[in-house]
A and B are shown apart, each in its own frame.
Chain A
């Protein structure tokens, strides 16, 4: 009798167990399906997949240095907005891997340029660590509010890497104007944080949020004046 009861309990639990296993399998399958990003316009062997973590330990770069004026001039869009999603991706170009992040932002206000939507996805890449040991982009997170400087990506902007080409416009509408200096993040309270070497913005004396807005507007109007001349 005792064994019969035990057996019956086991059988009763079995459907629940199967259901749980099925859900786990579905979750794993769903996750693996959604981890690939399909692109259609490319040459060579290009595949793009979503990865969990930004690979800042992959390597280190030396970047071209742009002056403040060059930086504000290169940015087609300068806008304030909030990060709503960050997707870290691995792009495999014939075996050579690039690590990027697709940063989706809801735009609050365009200070320069105008993109006909309230959402914009910007592609950015790791640039290697700074003194604090973390990559500059590592610090960005969902919910961050700030001023961002981005270069527009035209419809047919082709990336070339290791004998592969692929159309960047399939992934994003813009790229940060400078990998190292993408803008300012508003910290809780009033201070702005600029994830770069401070000396890069020599005319910015205070990192108070109001000063950062004032500085950005001043740089944009100076830049527009130069272009007008």
Chain B
């Protein structure tokens, strides 16, 4: 390995090192504050490392990795998402569990897994990254052992994730058996070389789709989402919604492009049906949901459906739209879960609709942030979600996906119903004198930053658009 290789993988290496040091720190003395500060520092340093990259992009580290602008951008996104989750975690864990330090180690490891996925171009690195992330997530989801739904969520995720990994492995094996290579580009060349892909390869892709679909939480592989969101600690739920789904999506985009997935109509239709089903099922089940965590879970299923529409639009505009939507989605999801996390007390999470009654008169700033996040999810102007939805629709129109777009419109209206209902609950008049809870500084700071970002992207998205465009063009 050359210096440049190390430089290209610096964020991953830094986080790996950080997790080892973190483990040692716990061995020396348990101190939540030190641990938190250390992890935050590790994330920030990893983010800074992004600016020290080899010049010749895309940089290939054969056979496992490729570091290109696409990977770099998403590494930045995932690290920033992880950092925001971290900032929201301190207070949440401080008031609960006794042993809080291991949480940070697991979070570091899960992020390592995510980062590996972002730049992998090979089945081996794909599987390693995926499993590193999944195994850390088992621990993270069941972290608050004493709570009633923790174990259920942890076991459920463990079983289903293991099952889906098995499918993924089997699929990869089938593809490898025919193609003779595990390299994405190699598989693409193999497929180009033959006219009709053999049954084994088709079956392999199908099985892989199950594995990928599970991680993305798209219908019909979505069943785990609401239970896990409900049972997991809130920062972890935010983490799953953003980092885990986001990195899988990025991997899917890379794989799809390398194997020329857009050439196969049948694959297109499979994704189209999944997109439609995700939109409808997600929105439909969220409609009457009174538990806000479950509501956000269902809403994230439907948002994956919207993203898939942009994904299916293909070409430049579609890929750009996916990236923009992903950024908007990450900001809003963390923001929404963050508000929930800050409102939770040491015994209960703020999760039922009733917990939010009159929030605007109790905690105006938090309510304003939550409103902004919900409106962004609903795609109302002045927020990043609006530009994201606009981007998706624009991509769809340019590829003439009228059926999918019509369904998107229908679903946006259904979605509005439950977002707006939640907003309405927050603005209901309050009886009695409001009791104000003191809010942790870092949490409010992180949320405020997210809201500023949300509005900035909603009002002046040109900078991000130019960045994404530049990145996509460099990919060719």
Q: Please determine whether chains A and B interact with each other in the same assembly.
A: no
Interface residues of A (CB under 8 A from B): none
Interface residues of B (CB under 8 A from A): none
